[in-house]
Amino acid sequence: MNKPRIVILGAGYGGLTTAVQLQKKLNVNAAHITLVNKHDYHYETTWLHETAAGTLHHDRSRFDIKDILNSSKVNFVKDTVTAIKPDEKKVELAGSTIEYDYLVIALGFEPATFGIPGIEEHAFKIGSINQARLIREHIEHQFAKYNNDPEQARLNIVVGGGGFTGIEFLGEIANRVKELCEEFDVDRSKVRLINVEAMETIMPGFDPELVDYAMKSLGSRGVEFKLGAFLKEVRKDGITIEQNGEKEDIPAMTTIWSAGVRANSLVEQSGLEHNRGKVEVTPELRAPSHEDIFVVGDCALIWNKAIDRPYPPTAQIAMQEAEVCAHNLAALIKGGELEQFQYVDRGTVCSLGEKDAMGSIFGGKKIYGWFASVMKKVVDNRALYKIGGVGLVLKKGKFNIF
Amino acid sequence: MNKPRIVILGAGYGGLTTAVQLQKKLNVNAAHITLVNKHDYHYETTWLHETAAGTLHHDRSRFDIKDILNSSKVNFVKDTVTAIKPDEKKVELAGSTIEYDYLVIALGFEPATFGIPGIEEHAFKIGSINQARLIREHIEHQFAKYNNDPEQARLNIVVGGGGFTGIEFLGEIANRVKELCEEFDVDRSKVRLINVEAMETIMPGFDPELVDYAMKSLGSRGVEFKLGAFLKEVRKDGITIEQNGEKEDIPAMTTIWSAGVRANSLVEQSGLEHNRGKVEVTPELRAPSHEDIFVVGDCALIWNKAIDRPYPPTAQIAMQEAEVCAHNLAALIKGGELEQFQYVDRGTVCSLGEKDAMGSIFGGKKIYGWFASVMKKVVDNRALYKIGGVGLVLKKGKFNIF
């Protein structure tokens, strides 16, 4: 009898956790497991704002996938997925075609631009090591150019979107500006950090007290907030916003777009039934029309009935889904009960830079400042632990808590 | 009786050495000395190729002028010279006008582009801290962009000119490529370093054995030489050369022009008699038509009768001239004999990177390799010593000889 072929697409939080859990649950002869990923490394997507700001080196935010995998159980293929063919039970990669008996789609997100002109071409996104590293270098390059060709736009950094990634990035870059100014002989008072958010608040959904805390913390470090402001256009050297019915042009050579993500568009192109690009999975995390396909992470849609909204695309949820997905795959292969996904809220902490953060833990307890920043590092280390155990935490963990 | 007013323009090797020597030779009441410079720091122009390549931080290549000056004897003015008016005995600065009884012009060089299209706009020059730092950041930015937008031109670095600065820069960047490739996940074999030189040899005037050594050393680290090749045009993303009557386009986002310098054009604009922009000074280093004006460094022309060619614009000559200039100014003020400039050749060493160099010392003895690289550091430290004594050598000197 042939071993069932499990193919996992993507080695982000969802895909890599699935692979790691499967290699624990299945023995060598139970299945043929293949993990496909564009890079030979996994990166901590939720840490990329630090890499982009230049406060955490990208090698601290990534690790080799092969170091985590048991190569006798999981075959790693470094390649780019170009198409998913559910009805043919195969996946096309840039370099080959791969067939499956069970497929796990864990291809993550891509930026949603909402058709705003110029975002595609001129705005940076914090979505990969390559992009984050480019943001760091781009900002340094603009600072280096300033004394050769003094244009204010070189020192203005705009962040479009007051959600998690945008606010966390601002916390880091606000701290780094001093170092940038020293390195490039620039007067600190000339640098502007501007957050543009269409809603009337940053961090929508967060407790107003926490939001207030974040705005004061960032404001005291020079971040300007443009709330209720719509980004109308991004150009190479500036943006246009509309606030209270009035348009304003802001010169800026650096605009970072972090106001929206959507599922990887390969999902929509696959022909699978989808809801705005995501597969609305069964409680067992399967595609409704294809029992052999599991979807986890940002490509999956699960309704949070308590508030009648979908769960947000977070690393925490992706990893919880991956555990259920791995359990169910093992059950299908070895026999056993399928589990249903049940979200366990472990709290949410938003970093505001190296030594500040805010959030809620233990089912709603609000935390601030240094303690919150320590909790944030605990959260980050926990993600490492879940994927790579103590060894990975020791190698890549964050221990700078004082 | 009024104190005579000495104004020194420029705090490079020539101007700063003049100021330092004058503050040793004259007491507080003898003269009113003013040193004017665009920046409040002096930089080691002959070290800038290292800053440009990213192998020596710019703060190691510069120091605060005020740390070197005795403020009771020399008044420092941070301003930019806009015009020299010899007949009115005054100098116009961006922010004020300053009158003098004695003037020392030590305004250094600017790049000569020989009218080659695009050099002005698209080629980088290694002429100041701001420019050198920009080159470092520009190269890193192109490497960071490569994985987001793979264009070969991002990884091609062209150096126009096989003279001192160009070759020394190539020695540094050839060493740094490995680190750049690791930092930005780029395959080393994709990077090209290209030297374009119109003559049939690099380092013209150097012993052929030394030239051969340099070419082998750089060649073994991946530098390609295009000799007898004329740079016809520089574009943002490439160059055109003509070699053996054939034109070739080479893609390159980074082109560094180091094939020629001329005196600061303020000299020509001043109305002083000049020879291709330089003042052909008397043996006492005065402008022939204006006894109250001394010219030292790259703005001065002195004929080397032994080879019937002018002395080249080097730091060594500028500093030797400055000592004569300071002696003569002191003699004019205190009384005494004027000296005539007599060049003492202390040898010339061309760096080929951290651990390699070549050159000649002790009146023609050829040196290579590690010993030459140590001698190069001795030369560099000697320049620091002459300007700022032991203290400056300890602070900014190069001691990494093993």
Alpha helices, H only, B3-85: 13-25, 48-53
Distance CA B166, CA B132 (A): 13
Which among A224, A259, A294 is the end of a domain?
A259
Distance CA A153, CA A299 (A): 37
Distance CA B369, CA B140 (A): 29
Residues B132 and B187 in one domain: yes
pLDDT of A160 over the 80 cut: yes
Q: Could you count the other beta carbons within 10 Å of the beta carbon of residue A263?
A: 26
Within a domain: A391: no
Nearest 10 degrees: CA dihedral of A197, A199, A202, A206? -150
3-state secondary structure of A3: coil
Residue A60 in contact with partner chain B when CB distance is under 8 A: no
Q: Are B184 and A131 within 8 A, CB to CB?
A: no
> What's the pLDDT at A2?
80
Supply the residues of B annotated as catalytic.
Answer: 168
Q: What is the pLDDT of residues B320-337, one digit of tens each?
A: 999 999 999 999 999 999
Contact A74, A34 (CB under 8 A): yes
A168 catalytically annotated: yes
Residue A181 in contact with partner chain B when CB distance is under 8 A: no
The percent of residues above 70 in pLDDT, for chain A, comes to 99
Which among B298, B320, B344 is the end of a domain?
B344
ipTM: 0.90
Distance in Å, alpha carbon of A231 to nearest chain B alpha carbon: 25
Within a domain: B363: no
Which residues of A fall within a CB distance of 8 Å from B133? 144, 184
Distance CA B164, CA A47 (A): 45
Residues A198 and A236 in one domain: yes
Distance CA B269, CA A105 (A): 71
Instruction: Name the residue facing A133 among B131, B133, B144 (closest C-beta).
Output: B144
Residues A272 and A254 in one domain: no
Q: Are A148 and B141 within 8 A, CB to CB?
A: no
Distance CA B292, CA B4 (A): 11
Which residues of B fall within a CB distance of 8 Å from A147? 130
Give the residue from chain B lying closest to A41, CA to CA.
Answer: B185
Residue A147 in contact with partner chain B when CB distance is under 8 A: yes
Q: Are A140 and B137 within 8 A, CB to CB?
A: yes
DSSP letter assigned to residue B190: G
Distance in Å, alpha carbon of B53 to nearest chain A alpha carbon: 14
CATH of the domain at B270: 3.50.50.100
Residues A249 and A276 in one domain: no
Q: Are B138 and A130 within 8 A, CB to CB?
A: no
State the pLDDT confidence band at B1, using cuts at 50, 70 and 90: low
Structural domain range at position B148: 119-260
Residues A216 and A269 in one domain: no
Name residues whose C-beta falls within 8 Å of residue B46's C-beta, 6 or more positions apart in sequence. Answer: B315, B380, B383
The tokens for B309 are: 């060619």
Pairing relationship of beta strands B41-43 and B62-64 according to DSSP bridges: antiparallel
State the pLDDT confidence band at A402, using cuts at 50, 70 and 90: low
State the pLDDT confidence band at B21, using cuts at 50, 70 and 90: very high
Which residues of B fall within a CB distance of 8 Å from A140? 137, 140-141
Sign of CA dihedral A364, A367, A371, A375: positive
pLDDT of A87 over the 70 cut: yes
Residue A268's region, left for phi above 0, alpha for psi from -120 to 50, else beta, is: alpha
Residue B130 in contact with partner chain A when CB distance is under 8 A: yes
Q: Are B130 and A141 within 8 A, CB to CB?
A: no
Residue B131 in contact with partner chain A when CB distance is under 8 A: yes
Q: What is the pLDDT of residues B106-152, one digit of tens each?
A: 999 999 999 999 999 999 999 999 999 999 999 999 999 999 999 99
Q: Are A131 and B137 within 8 A, CB to CB?
A: no
> What's the pLDDT at A145?
98
Residues A189 and A283 in one domain: no
The burial class, CB within 10 Å (0-12 / 13-18 / 19+), for B110 is middle
Query: Which runs of E-coded beta strand occur in A165-322?
Result: 192-197, 223-227, 229-235, 238-243, 246-251, 254-257, 261-263, 279-280, 286-287, 290-295, 300-301, 303-304, 309-310
The tokens for B210 are: 């030394």
Residue B25 in contact with partner chain A when CB distance is under 8 A: no
Q: How far is CA B196 from CA A51, A209, B51, B157, B383, in A?
A: 37, 63, 21, 11, 30
Within a domain: A388: no
> What's the pLDDT at B205?
86
Q: Are A130 and B148 within 8 A, CB to CB?
A: yes
pLDDT, mean over chain A: 95
Within a domain: B71: no
Distance CA B191, CA B189 (A): 6
Which range is most confident: B211-220, B309-318, B384-393?
A: B211-220
Residues A266 and A255 in one domain: no
Element of type H or E holding A157: strand A156-160
Give the residue from chain A lying closest to B148, CA to CA.
Answer: A130
Q: What is the DSSP secondary-structure string of B308-331? A: TEEPP--HHHHHHHHHHHHHHHHH
> What's the pLDDT at B339?
97
pLDDT of A363 over the 90 cut: no
Within a domain: A189: yes
> What's the pLDDT at A122?
98
Q: Are A145 and B134 within 8 A, CB to CB?
A: yes
Q: Are A131 and B145 within 8 A, CB to CB?
A: no
The tokens for A326 are: 């791995």
Q: What is the DSSP secondary-structure string of A81-98? A: EEEEEGGGTEEEESS-EE
Residues A219 and A125 in one domain: yes
What's the mean pLDDT in A307-332? 95
Residues B256 and B287 in one domain: no
Residues A150 and A242 in one domain: yes
Which among B260, B290, B315 is the end of a domain?
B260
Amino acid at A199: M
Within a domain: B382: no
Start-to-end Cα distance in chain B:
57
Give the residue from chain B lying closest to A139, CA to CA.
Answer: B141
Q: Domain total for chain A?
A: 2
Distance in Å, alpha carbon of A110 to nearest chain B alpha carbon: 15
Distance CA B198, CA B249 (A): 16
Which residues of A fall within a CB distance of 8 Å from B130? 144, 147-148, 185
Query: Phi, psi (5° rounding) for residue A296?
Result: -130, 160
Within a domain: A246: yes
State the pLDDT confidence band at B402, using cuts at 50, 70 and 90: low
Residue B144 in contact with partner chain A when CB distance is under 8 A: yes
Distance in Å, alpha carbon of B11 to nearest chain A alpha carbon: 19
Pick from B86, B143, B69: nearest CA to B272: B86
> What's the pLDDT at B399?
86
Residues A218 and A138 in one domain: yes
Quickly tell me which residue has 């307890």 as its tokens. Answer: A365
What's the mean pLDDT in A221-240? 97
Within a domain: B20: yes
Residues B227 and B335 in one domain: no
pLDDT of B246 over the 70 cut: yes
pLDDT of A21 over the 80 cut: yes
The tokens for A165 are: 């990634």
Q: What is the pLDDT of residues A256-282, one digit of tens each?
A: 999 989 999 999 999 999 999 999 999
pLDDT of B2 over the 60 cut: yes
pLDDT of A1 over the 60 cut: no
What's the mean pLDDT in A65-69? 95
Amino acid at B17: T
Which residues of A fall within a CB distance of 8 Å from B144? 130, 133-134, 136-138
CATH of the domain at A223: 3.50.50.60
